[in-house]
Amino acid sequence: MNNFICIYICLFCSCFNTASSNYRGPTVHSMFGWSFDEMRDKHEGFSISPRNLSRLRAHYADTDVFVIDEIDAMPAAMLALLDETMRTVFEEQRKPFGGKKLICLGDPAQLKPVFGEPLYGKAVSVKPKGRRGSSLYAQKTKKGQEIYRTLLAPNCILFKKPKRNSGLLQMICDKLRDGTQDDTDLDKLTYQRTHFPDVKTDYGIHYQNEACCMSNWRQLWSDCKSAAPPKQMYVMKATYHTTDDNQPIVEGLTALPPKQFGFAADVLCVSVGCDVRLIRNINVAAGLVNSATGRVVAIIFNNADVPLVLDGKNPPAYCIIVDFPGFVGFLTKDDRRVFPFKDMPHWVPIYREQFKPMKSDIPSWISKKQNYWDCWRQQFPLDLCRHYTAHRAQGQTLGGCLVSVDLGLGCGGRLPSDISSLMYVACTRVRELRNLFVTPMSLKVRLRYYDKTLLFTDISQDTVKYSLSNSLLLIIAI
């Protein structure tokens, strides 16, 4: 074995970039140069330019083993695309994955992919009618699930001892996996939040992005007020294409949620010393990938805007300097590493960028009045990161800090179909129960929460057998 490369899965440019940054490994997208929507490509097979193909073959010529973490978060269509890509790159069409060894690790009890069918899902029927793109995507999904059943599932090594949790929390999480939790277990999870409702935690896990946004703003404002001396909170308003008569259009684009602009918010609040994360890939080779976290060390304004800042106004900053621990320098053509600040090698200036929504996300009345290419939002590719969703929390371990879990289930609203996986992922981010503060559930949610059919609804019986008795699933395909 000449080389050993670790690849950590990223779905929708963010799924587990955090896991990849922990080991400074690439995501599958960045490793093979896939586009954001590569697996939905309308072409029959994997297409790549001759130049890029030669580059990939030279780069991975001595690589024998590929490791993929969080395999359960990979859509079935992506696994099929991975197989096609590796067959093409390594010029071995007759062998799965181009004849290379593949080691896949994951936990079937965690959340399934945000987009696409899971590997262990029900078989997808391919209908000949309809759009060509959707039909080819269904074929890729079916092929990916077949690869999972025939190559990955039969070759499993199972680790029964968990590595993240310990003590009482481990016992409760094992019951969550089995679907055997009861009122006593849930009372233990919610005990600290019930008896200490005013405790301020370091991080928070939520179900919806809106809840994360509001919690981040509240915590940032609280931190700024409690600092000695108090710190200033800067409000960065996004800018839009503006003309003399398009003010209604600008207001309409302002009202669109961040999700439709690649999670770039209309208003970004930051302060010196706050924790932020990237919402898109800036430079993969330098370690500036989606979901990479850092700390703001300086906020730089244009000289012309200084009077407005001193007057209490909120003009957009010129750049925000962030300390990214995972930054390894910008790679030049002659393979040198360049650092913007020689004395501070992890400091990186972040500038505003344009974010465009998908055409289908733009209201029809705006599309009729303004060209699509002018419907952009200019904002820093950053977001506060003390509170995030359970999906973004996958792949992280928050050790030595207090973590709150509030999935918005206290009012008895609509219960997510994957509530068991959500609760399992949220509660397993910490090592000990004393660091966990879970918001109590309403009675209605409790009754549905104990419905055993909610656990592993779409997982095959073989995978259920693995997931109910083990904490880590290691799949080896030879």
Q: Please indicate, yes or no, whether residues 377 and 401 belong to a single structural domain of this protein.
A: no
C-alpha span between 178 and 466 (Å, rounded): 11
Which tokens belong to 95? Answer: 């062998």
**Structure-derived torsion over alpha carbons of residues 239, 241, 246, 250, reported in degrees to the nearest 10:** -40
C-alpha span between 342 and 352 (Å, rounded): 23
CA-based torsion, 358, 363, 369, 375: positive or negative: negative
Total domains in the fold of the chain: 3
C-alpha span between 131 and 153 (Å, rounded): 32
The answer to whether position 167 is within a domain reads no
C-alpha span between 33 and 435 (Å, rounded): 40
Q: Half-sphere exposure (CA, 13 Å, Cβ side) for 86?
A: 23
C-alpha span between 51 and 391 (Å, rounded): 36
Q: Which residue has the tokens 């999670």?
A: 263
Domain endpoint, select from 335, 353, 384:
384
The answer to whether position 301 is within a domain reads yes
Q: Average model confidence (pLDDT) for the chain?
A: 79
353 three-class SS: strand
C-alpha span between 325 and 323 (Å, rounded): 6
C-alpha span between 24 and 20 (Å, rounded): 6
> 331 forms bridges with which residues in the sheet?
337
Q: Please indicate, yes or no, whether residues 394 and 354 belong to a single structural domain of this protein.
A: no
pLDDT for the residue numbered 464 = 37
Q: Please indicate, yes or no, whether residues 11 and 155 belong to a single structural domain of this protein.
A: yes
Which tokens belong to 241? Answer: 């294409």
pLDDT for the residue numbered 460 = 39
238 or 414: which leads in pLDDT: 238
Domain endpoint, select from 384, 410, 434:
384
Q: Please indicate, yes or no, whether residues 441 and 360 belong to a single structural domain of this protein.
A: no
Give the pLDDT confidence of 202-257 residue by residue, as tens digits.
999 998 888 899 999 999 999 999 999 999 999 999 999 999 999 999 999 999 99
Give the pLDDT confidence of 66-124 residue by residue, as tens digits.
888 878 788 888 888 888 888 888 888 888 888 888 888 777 777 878 778 888 766 55
Q: pLDDT grade, residue 414 (50/70/90)? A: low
Q: Which residues contact 24 (CB under 8 A, 6 or more apart)?
A: 287, 326, 328
The answer to whether position 463 is within a domain reads no
The answer to whether position 461 is within a domain reads no
C-alpha span between 290 and 15 (Å, rounded): 9
pLDDT for the residue numbered 317 = 92
Q: Which residues contact 233 (CB under 8 A, 6 or more apart)?
A: 220, 221, 224, 269, 270, 271
C-alpha span between 416 and 454 (Å, rounded): 9
Q: Please indicate, yes or no, whether residues 243 and 363 belong to a single structural domain of this protein.
A: yes
**Average pLDDT rounded to a whole number, residues 459-472:** 37
Single-letter code of the amino acid located at 226: S
pLDDT for the residue numbered 57 = 86
**Average pLDDT rounded to a whole number, residues 146-166:** 75
Give the pLDDT confidence of 358-398 residue by residue, as tens digits.
988 999 999 999 999 999 999 999 999 999 888 888 878 88
Q: Please indicate, yes or no, whether residues 333 and 442 belong to a single structural domain of this protein.
A: no
| pTM, rounded to two decimals | 0.76
Which residues span the domain enclosing 295? 233-384
41 has pLDDT over 50 = yes
The answer to whether position 467 is within a domain reads no
Q: Please indicate, yes or no, whether residues 343 and 398 belong to a single structural domain of this protein.
A: no
Report the chain's C-alpha Rg in angstroms. 24
62 or 415: which leads in pLDDT: 62
Q: Please indicate, yes or no, whether residues 251 and 307 belong to a single structural domain of this protein.
A: yes
Q: Please indicate, yes or no, whether residues 194 and 334 belong to a single structural domain of this protein.
A: no
Q: pLDDT grade, residue 260 (50/70/90)? A: very high
pLDDT for the residue numbered 469 = 36
Which tokens belong to 384? Answer: 């506060």
Which phi and psi angles does 436 have, rounded to 5°?
-115, 130
The answer to whether position 464 is within a domain reads no
Q: Please indicate, yes or no, whether residues 115 and 217 belong to a single structural domain of this protein.
A: no
Q: Please indicate, yes or no, whether residues 189 and 99 belong to a single structural domain of this protein.
A: no
DSSP string, 97-111: GGG-EEEEEE-TTSP
C-alpha span between 279 and 282 (Å, rounded): 9
Binning the chain into helix, strand and coil, the percentages to the nearest 5 are 40, 20, 45
194 three-class SS: helix
pLDDT for the residue numbered 452 = 40
Which tokens belong to 209? Answer: 């992005």
C-alpha 2: how far from chain center: 31
**Class of residue 442 by CB neighbours under 10 A (exposed 0-12, middle 13-18, buried 19+):** middle
Q: pLDDT grade, residue 458 (50/70/90)? A: very low
Give the pLDDT confidence of 286-308 residue by residue, as tens digits.
888 888 889 999 999 998 888 88
pLDDT for the residue numbered 106 = 78
C-alpha span between 1 and 447 (Å, rounded): 53
**Average pLDDT rounded to a whole number, residues 152-166:** 70
C-alpha span between 84 and 79 (Å, rounded): 9
Q: Half-sphere exposure (CA, 13 Å, Cβ side) for 383?
A: 28
pLDDT for the residue numbered 35 = 66
Q: Please indicate, yes or no, whether residues 373 and 393 belong to a single structural domain of this protein.
A: no
**By percentage, how much of the chain surpasses pLDDT 90?**
30
- DSSP letter at 200? P
Give the pLDDT confidence of 16-38 residue by residue, as tens digits.
555 555 555 667 777 777 766 66
pLDDT for the residue numbered 180 = 78
C-alpha span between 81 and 450 (Å, rounded): 38
Q: Give me the helices (H) in 326-460, please.
A: 364-369, 390-393, 419-427, 443-449
Neighbours of 217 (CB within 10 A): 16
Identify the helix (H) or strand (E) that includes residue 226. helix 209-226
Q: Give me the helices (H) in 231-369, please.
A: 247-255, 306-310, 364-369
